[in-house]
Amino acid sequence: MATAVYPGSFDPVTLGHMDIIERTAQMMDHVIIGVLHNNSKTPLFSVEERVKMLEEITSHLDNVEVRFFHGLLVDFVHECHADVIVRGLRAITDFEYELQMAQTNRVMAPDIDTIFLTTNLRYSYLSSTTVKEIAFFHGKLEAFLHPEVARRVEEKVKKLKNH
């Protein structure tokens, strides 16, 4: 039984993330999406909101579950009794950061490997940061986000602007 952890901030989850989740779910017996709860950053969505959105849009995938984690990713992976970490690579610009992270994690936990999936070319330009910027300027989000996530982002931005 192979279990993978797919970690990230998912603020918000994009169609690029979704593509990685669906492909990982086909390859692995069990996939745990690990949503980082990072107190030092101020995300657009709380960790509870991010977990809920991910649960909703992955509900059709029987072998996928969503959890949040604090602290070190390798500790979370051990807690989950998972075998590998999965990360998406969009472009060469991601590689240096991803390699550094994978090597650091491997030194801390030699029993855990990181595997990389190349992002679908359709989403190779996409990032949560860009999506948030588009949302703040009222751009259309349907090409980037699941409709339910797009609705929540628009709602959140509206709320923030009214404060």
> Could you give the residue numbers annotated as active site?
17, 41, 90, 128
User: Nearest-CB residue to ligand PNS?
Assistant: 8
Q: What residues from 18 to 57 belong to the interface with ligand PNS (CB under 6 A)?
A: 36
Which residue carries 């998912």 as its tokens? 10
Please report whether residue 16 would count as binding ligand PNS according to CB under 6 A: no
Q: Between 68 and 158, whose beta carbon lies closer to ligand PNS?
A: 68
Q: What residues from 91 to 110 belong to the interface with ligand PNS (CB under 6 A)?
A: 101, 104-105
Q: Distance between CA 139 and CA 133 in Å, rounded?
A: 9
Shortest approach of ligand PNS to residue 60 CB, angstroms? Answer: 23
Compute φ and ψ for 98, nearest 5 degrees. Answer: -65, -40
3 beta partners: 30
Considering only 8, 12, 16, 43, the residue that binds ligand PNS (CB under 6 A) is 8
Q: Distance between CA 40 and CA 19 in Å, rounded?
A: 28
Shortest approach of ligand PNS to residue 21 CB, angstroms? Answer: 13
Please report whether residue 141 would count as binding ligand PNS according to CB under 6 A: no
Which residue carries 């359709």 as its tokens? 122
The three-state secondary structure class of 132 is helix
Positions that interact with ligand PNS (CB under 6 A): 7-9, 36, 72-73, 101, 104-105
